[in-house]
Structure 1
Amino acid sequence: MDTALAPDIIRRRRRRTLAAAAAALALACAAAWGINRAAGPSVSLSDIAVAEIRRGSIANTVSAAGVVVPEHEELVPSPIQSRVAKVHAKLGQQVAAGELLLELDDRNVRLALDGIREQIAQQDNRILGLTLDMDQKRKQYASAIELLELDLQSTRAKRERYATLRAVGAVSGEDMLTAELNVQRTEVQLRQQKELIEDNRRSTASGVEGARLQKSILQKQLDQQRILLAQTQVRAPFAGMLTSLAAEEGAAVAVGQLVAKVSDLGNYRVEATLSDFHTRLLSPGQAVRVEQGKQVLAGRVHTILPEIQNGTVKLLVALEQPSHALLRNKLRVDVNIVTEQKTNVLVADSGPAFNGKGRQAVFVLRGGTAHKAMLDIGASDGKAVEIAGGAQAGERVIISDVSRYKELDSIRIQQ
């Protein structure tokens, strides 16, 4: 026959059962937590870059690719189609202003000079011939006038004598008319001779003026050929370094072909290239930051070239320190053009986590977990970005590339 258990025993057994169940539940929870810690998404703090949001100033910039070029350089083209006769300088050497660099074959120029001189001499001879011919004709006409004046005196005397005789009836009317006509005829011939002298003078003056005009044209051509002859002696336009030279003697050169280039390697500027999409944001005088490695040089937009090629626009940047030791000819640099300046705004260091302007998802650290938050990103200067909304000063954000976690709402951060 079974005996009923004492109430104390039943209570002790019930407490042991509850204790065992609680221990099992705690063990299950601990195991689940451990599994979650082991298998859930996490990242080590040492593997990510974190930036603290702070208040500060930021400049909105447009990035461009730049190359350092001499502030002053001159190209020397060939003035004629010729060949290199003799080279006097070496590429890369320092040259003085006016120093002879090379000589071009000048035989064709000298032949052209001789031909023009001969044509000028022909015009001088033409002027002399016209002048002599005019003088000769003037003498002939003057002699004819003297004879006609004598004839006129004779006919007038005869007319006066006939007039006296006519009064007493000793000369017929026909003889009187003949005497009168002879006077008029002589006067006409005299007037014609005087007009011939003036016509000859005008004709000769016109011929001489034409010859002198042609001579003036030839003289200008002669001056041009003399300039070309001087330019066949290629000289340095100013003191600097010879950075380009047609150094092969006997090589043919075309008109306008570059034969030498002299650069001032003591002062530089930057030639920047960027997409024409940003053209509307650019204006002369804008501040510019030129970066090469960790060095930053200040400058200003000097000139925006009007021509757009292959979707890009070029601009010239004047540097505040054009002779800085960092600068080298053809050195490639990063150019940041400041289009807007902001102060007392929330900023954070820039990084791959930010993708331009606008609202975007960024992980914000809170405790040991990074939570996805939507931040409004504003201006950027390449070093920092403006946090226009979605976070507060003092909060920390992940700025490194965490795109592989973009589908997650949170990430555990392992210390």
Structure 2
Amino acid sequence: MDRELSATTKQAHKRKRLWQIGVAVAIVAAAIYGFNTLISPSLNRSEIRTATVERGPVVATLTATGVVVPELEQAITSPIQARIEQVVRTSGEEVKPGDQVLLLDRSFTQLAYDKLKDEQEMNQHKRVQLRLQLQKKLNSLESQLAIKRMSVKSLQARLEDEQYLLKIGGGTQEQVKQAELNLKIAQQELAQLERDIASERELLKADEQELGFTMAMQGRNIEELQRKMEQAEVRATHRGVVTWVKNEVGSSVNAGDVIVRLADLSSFKIKAAVSDAYAEQLQAGGEATVRVNEVDLKGTIAAIEPTVTNGTVTFFVALDENAHKLLRPNLRVEVYVTTATKPNTLRIKNGPYFNSASNNSRLFVVRGDELIQIPASTGASNADYVEVEGDVQPGDEIVISSLQDYEHLKKIQLK
């Protein structure tokens, strides 16, 4: 026969029941929390970088790589075909104008120089001989001319005598005609001698001019060889530093080969390169900024090489401060070429997010303990700032670190 449970027993059963329900509720709550955690990932604030939207200018730039090079660099070429006899200055040594750097063997050029000098002496003698020969010929012609003139005068007197005799009846008409013919022949011969003498004088003048031209050309060749032999003592033309020298003593060099490079390290420029895809955005005279160890130096594009090499275009930037203390030869720098300027726009500091995001039409803004994805777009940019447009306001805190793995989420919890 069943007995009614006591009040104490009933109370114990009730407490046990409540405890079981409480445990079940806790398990369900934990499951719900874990599920929410799975479907709503979270991030620690320390894992992200943020920046505040502000108003200000944004200068759009094109990024290029550059290297510092001397503004003035001289390549000295060999003036002659020779061999290196002595290296006087080595790379890294400072030089002043007139300091010798190399000595070339000039024996081969000396032989050519001596040969030209001998030929010049022979031409001098030839010139003297030519004048003497032509003068002798002219003297002979002048003598013949004088004789012929006297002959003409004699024949002219003879003609006058024959004409007188004919007039008084002591001569004949045939004798007069013969005298006239003899006079005409002599006059023709006299005119021919005068023309021959004039021609000989012109010929002498032409021969002297031709020989003079030959001697002038040889004189210039002699001067050039003399200058080349002087240049064989390779000397610096301005103050600077020897950056390279062909230092193999005894090695041969051809005329025109570069044997020494000198650089003036008191001023510098930037040699930069960029992909040929951006070649149209480069313009001579355009503004550029060179970043050297976090210091920005202003400059302008001075020259652009017309050829494309390995898919890149090379250009040179002239710096406003070309003697800045941070500039060193061959130092690698970043070059930012200005392509557009926005004087007053919404901007945010540049960061990895804008380089890694596959879709820059969305940004993550901090809202309390959450990151909310908002529609936005980017415009002009440089290494420091990015122009932003869309549902952003000044003062908004925007994530600028990479969130590539979370781009598909509309909301992210912050811890």
Bigger mean CA offset, 396-405 vs 162-171: 162-171
CA-CA distance at 1:26 after TM superposition: 7.7
Give the SS at the match of 1:315: strand
Kindly tell me: are residues 296 and 165 of structure 1, through their superposed partners in 2, closer, same or farther at Cα, counting changes over 3 Å?
Answer: closer
Q: Which runs of 4+ in 1 moved over 4 A?
A: 17-27, 356-359
In the other structure, the counterpart of 2:322 is 322
Instruction: Give the Cα separation in 2 of the matches to 1:54 and 1:69.
Output: 38
The alignment status of 1:409 with 2:410, answered yes or no, reads: yes
Contact 1:376 1:390 in 2 (8 A): no
Contact 2:362 2:373 in 1 (8 A): yes
1:88-129 deviations in Å (ceiling 9; x for gaps): 212211110111111111112111112222222233223222
**Paired letter, 2:71:** E
Contact 2:61 2:340 in 1 (8 A): yes
The alignment status of 1:370 with 2:351, answered yes or no, reads: no
The alignment status of 1:395 with 2:396, answered yes or no, reads: yes
Give the SS at the match of 1:131: helix
Contact 2:290 2:298 in 1 (8 A): yes
In the other structure, the counterpart of 1:267 is 267
Instruction: Give the Cα separation in 2 of the matches to 1:112 and 1:333.
Output: 50
CA-CA distance at 1:368 after TM superposition: 1.3
CA-CA distance at 1:310 after TM superposition: 2.2
Instruction: Give the Cα separation in 1 of the matches to 2:162 and 2:34.
Output: 163
Instruction: Give the Cα separation in 1 of the matches to 2:362 and 2:36.
Output: 25
**Paired letter, 1:402:** L
Query: Which runs of structure 2 are paired with 1:278-357 in the superposition (5 Å)?
Result: 278-355=278-355
Instruction: Give the Cα separation in 2 of the matches to 1:226 and 1:341.
Output: 59
Bigger mean CA offset, 58-67 vs 46-55: 46-55
Instruction: Give the Cα separation in 2 of the matches to 1:186 and 1:343.
Output: 104
In the other structure, the counterpart of 1:385 is 386
CA-CA distance at 1:140 after TM superposition: 1.1
In the other structure, the counterpart of 1:13 is none
CA-CA distance at 1:57 after TM superposition: 1.9
Instruction: Give the Cα separation in 1 of the matches to 2:73 and 2:411.
Output: 59
In the other structure, the counterpart of 2:79 is 79
Long gaps (5+) in structure 2: 1-16
CA-CA distance at 1:30 after TM superposition: 5.6
TM-score norm. by structure 1 comes to: 0.89
Give the SS at the match of 1:264: strand
CA-CA distance at 1:175 after TM superposition: 2.4
Percent sequence identity over aligned pairs: 30
The alignment status of 1:111 with 2:111, answered yes or no, reads: yes
CA-CA distance at 1:65 after TM superposition: 0.1
Contact 2:364 2:398 in 1 (8 A): yes
**Paired letter, 1:326:** L
In the other structure, the counterpart of 2:197 is 197
**Paired letter, 1:336:** Y
Instruction: Give the Cα separation in 1 of the matches to 2:163 and 2:321.
Output: 110
Give the SS at the match of 1:271: strand
CA-CA distance at 1:187 after TM superposition: 1.7
Kindly tell me: are residues 246 and 59 of structure 1, through their superposed partners in 2, closer, same or farther at Cα, counting changes over 3 Å?
Answer: same
**Paired letter, 1:266:** S
CA-CA distance at 1:232 after TM superposition: 1.0
**Paired letter, 2:66:** G
1:334-388 deviations in Å (ceiling 9; x for gaps): 1111222223321112111113998423322212121222320111111221112
CA-CA distance at 1:39 after TM superposition: 7.2
TM-score norm. by structure 2 comes to: 0.89
**Paired letter, 2:297:** L
Instruction: Give the Cα separation in 2 of the matches to 1:154 and 1:284.
Output: 90
Contact 1:54 1:346 in 2 (8 A): yes
Query: Which runs of structure 2 are paired with 1:127-276 in the superposition (5 Å)?
Result: 127-276=127-276
Give the SS at the match of 2:265: coil
**Paired letter, 1:125:** H
Give the SS at the match of 2:266: coil
Taking only aligned residues, the RMSD between alpha carbons, in angstroms, comes to: 2.7
1:155-209 deviations in Å (ceiling 9; x for gaps): 2222222222222322233223222222222222222222221121122222111
In the other structure, the counterpart of 2:12 is none
Contact 1:359 1:374 in 2 (8 A): no
Instruction: Give the Cα separation in 1 of the matches to 2:280 and 2:161.
Output: 106
Long gaps (5+) in structure 1: 1-16
In the other structure, the counterpart of 2:56 is 56
Give the SS at the match of 1:329: coil
Instruction: Give the Cα separation in 2 of the matches to 1:373 and 1:163.
Output: 137
Contact 1:237 1:262 in 2 (8 A): no
Kindly tell me: are residues 367 and 233 of structure 1, through their superposed partners in 2, closer, same or farther at Cα, counting changes over 3 Å?
Answer: same
**Paired letter, 1:166:** L
Instruction: Give the Cα separation in 1 of the matches to 2:279 and 2:294.
Output: 28
Kindly tell me: are residues 118 and 40 of structure 1, through their superposed partners in 2, closer, same or farther at Cα, counting changes over 3 Å?
Answer: same
Instruction: Give the Cα separation in 2 of the matches to 1:77 and 1:121.
Output: 32
1:129-170 deviations in Å (ceiling 9; x for gaps): 222122112211122122222222322222222222222322
**Paired letter, 2:266:** G
